[in-house]
Structure 1
Amino acid sequence: MDNSVHVRFQAPDRSYLALLKKGINQLAVQAGFQHQRLSEIDLIVAEMATNLIKHAGGGDILVRHFQSTNQSGIELISIDNGPGMADTAKMTKDGVSTTSTLGHGLGTINRLADQTQIYSIKGWGTILLARIFLNPAAALISERSSGFEFRSLLVAKPGETMCGDGCYLKMTPGHIKLFLGDGLGHGPEAHLAVQTAINSFRHCPDHRPVDILRSMHRSVTKTRGLVGSVIVYDVATQQWNWCGVGNISTRLSGVTSSKNFLSYNGIIGMNLPATMNDHMLPFERGQLLIMCSDGLQSRWDHTKYPLIHRYDLTILAAALYKDYSRQTDDTSLVVGRAHGDHGGTN
């Protein structure tokens, strides 16, 4: 799972197109794209933005440069509250349009991007996901070798250039460990707090979430502090262990059991509770894990999206962001799914 931040570009009307295309082109250059691939990304962005303006009355494009062990590239997520589409497969075919155009937009995106998915509901809107890889062959590499799939979506508060939320996934032969944190406030100081916590999490040898949080607490005392949650999957016991401090929501949903974990009151780095315990839940195949900061409204509902479980988890994260982001703070989500095998990796 990549933990880089998405940059939000708004496309309310055509006057924003030049600025939007320039900003995303700069991100693509920084990611290492050159020549023809840059031109293809420019075309994808132009088609995305044009579709937002023409068919949905405007919307957002979230962009990030992602990097992982086997993959590196650009991820584009187009989000709108437009009329939606009843048949997304039909609309990706060349020559199909709901307006008086040639109808090549979605087909062009589908051809030029290495990975694309469209999720749409009539009357709700549309989410279009496109990934372009520096090495297109990387698109064929499985991301599920551990038996788990994780996606993150982090967006800074509007007007801020740095995000005060952060996450990190750590996989070892015996454990899968995940942290999501929210630095107090927003901006550079919040960013410093959460990045210091991530550094502590990366190097902490402990396996119990309580012990990891206590170690983190000692490491971030010189920052403004943060709230955060740690969840650990133990391969030997086939059990999830969780502990959290502050307003990070964590929900684990399965076929036979579902749990909303309740965090302890406190601030990591300032006032940690004297007594904390790990909370446990058995592993189930197909379990869905969702963690989010308070940049998302508290009463979010991931079950209201028909058939979304068939899509990339980024689509679900984007749908929750679309419907529940407060837009007054940094927003972060981590979504994970347990598949068949459930062993750790090096």
Structure 2
Amino acid sequence: MVQELGWFDVVDVATAGEARCAAARAGERCGLDDVRVRELASAVAELGNNLHEHAGGGRIAVRALHRSGLRGIEIVAVDTGPGMPGFPGCSRAECSAEQLRGGLGAAVRLASRHDGYSLPGRGTVVTIQFWPRGVYPAAFVATGLTRPMLGEQISGDRFGMVLRDDGPILLVADGLGHGPLAEEASRSAAEAFYSATTDSPAELVEAIHHTIAHTRGAAVAIARLEPSVGVVRFAGLGNIAAAVVGTPDGAGARRTGMVSQPGVAGHQRGTVHESCYPLGPGDLVILHSDGVVDRWDLAAYPGLAHHDPLVVAATLLRDAGVRRDDACVLVARSY
């Protein structure tokens, strides 16, 4: 489970300090010991300093993680600076502390897990996780990232995921409009998603539709990955974009769009239909709200598809997200 705690604009030492303090408070709340909290604060300070000193500013997201009874903190640092020449871009395993610029190297050495991607002229994304000392969980096969529109503190977009041994079930919900009422609609959709007893995307959309009738409504989409049989099952209402994307090669990335039906969950819909799409090993399933322009192409980012889903989501959110709307990207990798 991921709880998003907020975004922080970093343009100078003072704003970098705000992100550091927010991360330290989050670490304390999730039960990290004093030494680990200080290490977390130090790592975020290094990321913030790197943003304003080398990238001309950027943004930091602070997130709380809950997994298998453990709690941790995740940090996402994003910029649109010049990029980092020589930054590892093709393999997550190559993104080592020794290869990173001073402050970044110090940050990832302290982290339980890290990943990053940089493209000259486009900017850099770095993610770090802090868990209790000695805990090194595997990467999430699916995760997402949201941000509110410019001027808002909360987002009406939300993602959800149930990670099962036979494949994850994914949700993206976009509450109509912006602000608290949109957030209420998407939160209610997520609550219905997590409390449902079915794994059928069509039945989940139906359950959400009936549950959130008291709200202003939402666009919703559900994807159920079934790697063992090579398919993804999908159902959606409203303007949520979804696609299966193959690993890019010299000919580009194979991209198969998944089709939602017109309607608004909670208010108007026809019969909800479920469709199946081919899913190969290593394919990415990407869902996003209409706060993200649908013209992105992973082939324009060499090596990105091999990185953690969060790095893919953060890169697409940075480059394809529009600031006049809430935005959400959810990425899952087949296996």
- TM-score category (smaller protein): 0.7 to 0.9
1:54-77 CA-partner distances (Å, limit 9, x unpaired)? 111111111111112254211111
- Of 235-244 and 276-285, deviating more is 235-244
Aligned CA distance change for structure 1 residues 235 and 49 (closer, same or farther; 3 Å)? closer
State the partner residue of 2:334: 338
Instruction: Give the conservation status (yes or no) of the 8 Å contact 2:9–2:60.
Output: yes
1:92-142 CA-partner distances (Å, limit 9, x unpaired)? 449x86xxxxxx412211221111223112222111111111x23331x43
Name the aligned partner's letter for residue 10 of structure 1.
Answer: D
- Of 16-25 and 149-158, deviating more is 16-25
Inter-partner Cα distance in structure 1 for 2:298 and 2:73: 26
1:114 aligns with 2:106: no
Aligned CA distance change for structure 1 residues 113 and 173 (closer, same or farther; 3 Å)? closer
Inter-partner Cα distance in structure 2 for 1:193 and 1:19: 30
Inter-partner Cα distance in structure 2 for 1:34 and 1:61: 23
Aligned CA distance change for structure 1 residues 315 and 32 (closer, same or farther; 3 Å)? same
Which of 260, 263, 288 is equivalent to 2:257?
Answer: 260
State the partner residue of 2:189: 197
Aligned CA distance change for structure 1 residues 42 and 186 (closer, same or farther; 3 Å)? same
1:169 aligns with 2:143: no
1:4-45 CA-partner distances (Å, limit 9, x unpaired)? 225111112234233333233222222223421221122111
Which of 279, 282, 285 is equivalent to 1:283?
Answer: 279
State the partner residue of 1:344: none
Instruction: Give the conservation status (yes or no) of the 8 Å contact 1:6–1:154.
Output: no
SS at match of 2:192: helix
- Of 54-63 and 280-289, deviating more is 280-289
SS at match of 2:324: coil
Which of 301, 306, 310 is equivalent to 1:305?
Answer: 301
State the partner residue of 2:121: 123
State the partner residue of 2:147: 155
Q: Report the count of equivalent residues.
A: 324
1:128-158 CA-partner distances (Å, limit 9, x unpaired)? 111111x23331x4357xxxx1121122334
Inter-partner Cα distance in structure 1 for 2:77 and 2:230: 37
User: TM-score if structure 1 supplies the norm length?
Assistant: 0.85
Return 5+ residue gaps in structure 2 as ranges.
89-94, 248-252
How far does residue 302 in structure 1 lie from its aligned partner after superposition? 2.4
Aligned CA distance change for structure 1 residues 72 and 276 (closer, same or farther; 3 Å)? same
SS at match of 1:119: strand
Please tell me the root mean square deviation across aligned C-alpha atoms, in Å: 2.5
Instruction: Give the conservation status (yes or no) of the 8 Å contact 1:5–1:156.
Output: no
Inter-partner Cα distance in structure 1 for 2:7 and 2:278: 37
State the partner residue of 1:186: 178
Name the aligned partner's letter for residue 272 of structure 1.
Answer: R
State the partner residue of 2:91: none
State the partner residue of 1:20: 19
How far does residue 174 in structure 1 lie from its aligned partner after superposition? 6.3
Instruction: Give the conservation status (yes or no) of the 8 Å contact 1:155–1:331.
Output: yes
How far does residue 283 in structure 1 lie from its aligned partner after superposition? 3.1
How far does residue 304 in structure 1 lie from its aligned partner after superposition? 1.2
Return 5+ residue gaps in structure 1 as ranges.
98-103, 340-346
* Greater Cα radius of gyration, structure 1 or 2: 1
Instruction: Give the conservation status (yes or no) of the 8 Å contact 2:291–2:321.
Output: yes
Which of 201, 205, 216 is equivalent to 1:209?
Answer: 201
Instruction: Give the conservation status (yes or no) of the 8 Å contact 2:258–2:277.
Output: no
Inter-partner Cα distance in structure 2 for 1:82 and 1:6: 24
